[in-house]
Structure 1
Amino acid sequence: MKIKLGVVMDPIEKINIKKDSTFSILLEAQNRNYIIYYMEIKDLYIHCNKAYSESKIIILKKNIKQWYKIIKKKTILLSKLDIILMRKDPPVNMEFIYSTYILEKAEKNGVIVVNKPKSLRDFNEKFFATKFKKFIPVTLITSKKNKIKEFIKINKDIIIKPLDGMGGSSIFRIKKKDKNFSVIVETVTKRESKYCVSQKYLKEILNGDKRIIIINGKPIKWCVYRIPQKGENRGNLAVGGKAKIKKISPQDFKIAKIVGKFLKKKGIILSGIDIIGEKLIEINITSPTCMCEIENFYNISISSILLNCLEKKILRKNKFF
């Protein structure tokens, strides 16, 4: 019997297939003869207490001009799927939260949802790292300007960013006595109406921040160093950072293993953690990227590792039932 895989993602016509981790996973799924049901958040719905979605059965091709083709449009009962990949990019807004309630209905009917809907709701990616306090830099989470002012007085050089940002958006570096302090804080906190994260600036960012992929609690031994452009504080590839692939260090492996053990317990099968120097910065669980960069550099298929893991879960589930 063919495995039925549903994927909830951003519009497929807008992705960059050279870098898109979701595309890489789906291509491997297609190589294994999975039936792929493509969905967007707006397609999910509840009717008579059952979870459904309008979907499109697609086939994929590694072609930068035309990388997908719709074979058939079909309304599906989500419980009929074997796996659902929740790969919608942040922000984690209320529509995202509502969609996790719908996906949870499918999960309760035996569908493997990656990542677990409850955990997607429970753990903000930037807040999540504070659970591992011995690994993180000095951190403040607040919406109050006076508290950030006191924080910068003590730490002298900080990074400030919103809790719901992604891809390096709205990340600022502020030094003590910075004339732009007020306008930056007002912008990031929306005039003290939104929480933000402030952290002590780590000079190690000049060597790049590291993205480590974790699958079912186990870190992949290769990671992506995202090195900032000259004069830039952000290493994110989305804002021009340069990618280098290296083996993870013993200390990074230690951090990833401890974090991974917790993630596995919470049903977070696919994640990406960010480390600067030896400090944990973020834990990405919504739609972690950088798989393609590693796969293109080294003879490893992270997509295969993920799908092997999910297939084992399907076998165990079928034996149980």
Structure 2
Amino acid sequence: MPLLFVADPLEGFKTHKDTSFAMMREAARRGHALLACEARDLHWQRGGRVTARARAITLTGRAGAGVTDWFQAAPAAPVELATLDAVLMRSDPPFDSEYFYATHLLEQAEREGARVFNRPRALRDHPEKLAILEFPQWIGPTLVTRSADDIRAFHAEHRDIILKPLDGMGGMGIFRVGPDGLNLGSITETLNRDGAQTVMVQRYLPEIVQGDKRILLIAGRPVPFALARIPQGSEIRGNMAVGGKGVAQPLSVRDREIAEHLGPVLAARGLLLVGLDVIGDCVTEINVTSPTGFQEITQQTGHDVARDWMDALAAALAG
């Protein structure tokens, strides 16, 4: 039963914390053959079906910080996506034009019979920052705009705000502007490029000091533990990519309320795996491209998240 992972270069995987690696390891444990490619390896030619130049890989059993020989790979060869048991789209953001085109190729593969997770149309329909605005009862004050005047008005109302680009990941390009408004104009110009680029602005949530929680939804159901990513030192961002400390903790009552409301809605749209980012009582992002946190939660709690994911994938393929 071959599975194709469309992911970032394998050579760059940090196997001690990479979620795609945890997925591969669990799939291999259950006897699945593994293939891997990058989004740039997708191919569609007139009269043919969508293919990928993919490498068949085997896991060596070695993993950990600094380990690079965790897999062995055969030479890349073309494979039709519709002939595989499943295609797992795990490319990291940014959600740029090339990512957008890749979802169209994957959607064509679906029409040919491929099973793609998360579904390509659902990936397109849920840009990770914008998607929260569909659920206003679960989010804090939020503005999406190109207008510098709108941003100044939002700051005047809320006084302490966060600004961020719509296509960032890992905490990239996030700024806080406090009540004094220091550098608001300069930050706005940097992010919106004189009105050419859309910016998200949110009221600052002081609960960030307790962590930016990642709640994982698998087939619409929450994993019972969240990964609270806690800012360190003077940093306002809890993202692991910028040095945040990951602490697994049981879901709170509010976490469960959020998850149980959003989970079935998102699952019904073809999103098998979702990562909700929650600060305090508010959802701040809905991550659908390549949600992470499997290994940290499993290592700290013993709850095998990759097993949950593989169970859900097997059920989806059988359904």
TM tier relative to shorter chain: over 0.9
C-alpha distance in 2 between matches for 1:311 and 1:290: 21
Q: Does 1:304 align with 2:302?
A: no
| Residue of structure 2 equivalent to 1:141 | 144
| Residue of structure 1 equivalent to 2:287 | 284
Per-residue deviation, 1:44:
0.2
Q: Secondary structure at the match of 2:185?
A: helix
Q: Deviations over 1:182-202 (max 9, x none)?
A: 111111112221111100011
| Residue of structure 2 equivalent to 1:165 | 168
| Residue of structure 2 equivalent to 1:319 | none
| Residue of structure 2 equivalent to 1:14 | 12
The question of whether the paired residues in 2 share the 8 Å contact of 1:160 and 1:196 is answered with: yes
C-alpha distance in 1 between matches for 2:54 and 2:203: 45
Q: Secondary structure at the match of 2:161?
A: strand
Q: Deviations over 1:280-314 (max 9, x none)?
A: 10000000011110011122221111111121222
Q: Secondary structure at the match of 1:300?
A: coil
| Residue of structure 1 equivalent to 2:117 | 114
What amino acid is aligned across from residue 42 of structure 1 in structure 2?
R
| Residue of structure 1 equivalent to 2:187 | 184
How many residues are treated as equivalent by the alignment? 314
| Residue of structure 2 equivalent to 1:197 | 200
Per-residue deviation, 1:49:
4.3
1:242 is aligned, of 242, 245, 252, to 245
- Alpha-carbon RMSD across the aligned residues, in angstroms, is 1.1
% of aligned pairs identical?
37
Q: Deviations over 1:99-132 (max 9, x none)?
A: 1111112222332211010011111100001111
The question of whether the paired residues in 2 share the 8 Å contact of 1:157 and 1:175 is answered with: yes
| Residue of structure 2 equivalent to 1:151 | 154
Q: Secondary structure at the match of 2:138?
A: coil
| Residue of structure 2 equivalent to 1:272 | 275
C-alpha distance in 2 between matches for 1:53 and 1:71: 14
Q: Does 1:220 align with 2:223?
A: yes
What amino acid is aligned across from residue 211 of structure 2 in structure 1?
G
C-alpha distance in 2 between matches for 1:70 and 1:123: 33
Compared CA separation, residues 62 and 295, structure 1 to 2 (3 A)? farther
C-alpha distance in 1 between matches for 2:189 and 2:62: 44
The question of whether the paired residues in 1 share the 8 Å contact of 2:11 and 2:68 is answered with: no
Per-residue deviation, 1:180:
1.1
TM score, norm. by length of structure 2: 0.96
| Residue of structure 1 equivalent to 2:131 | 128
Per-residue deviation, 1:72:
4.2
| Residue of structure 1 equivalent to 2:77 | 74
| Residue of structure 2 equivalent to 1:209 | 212
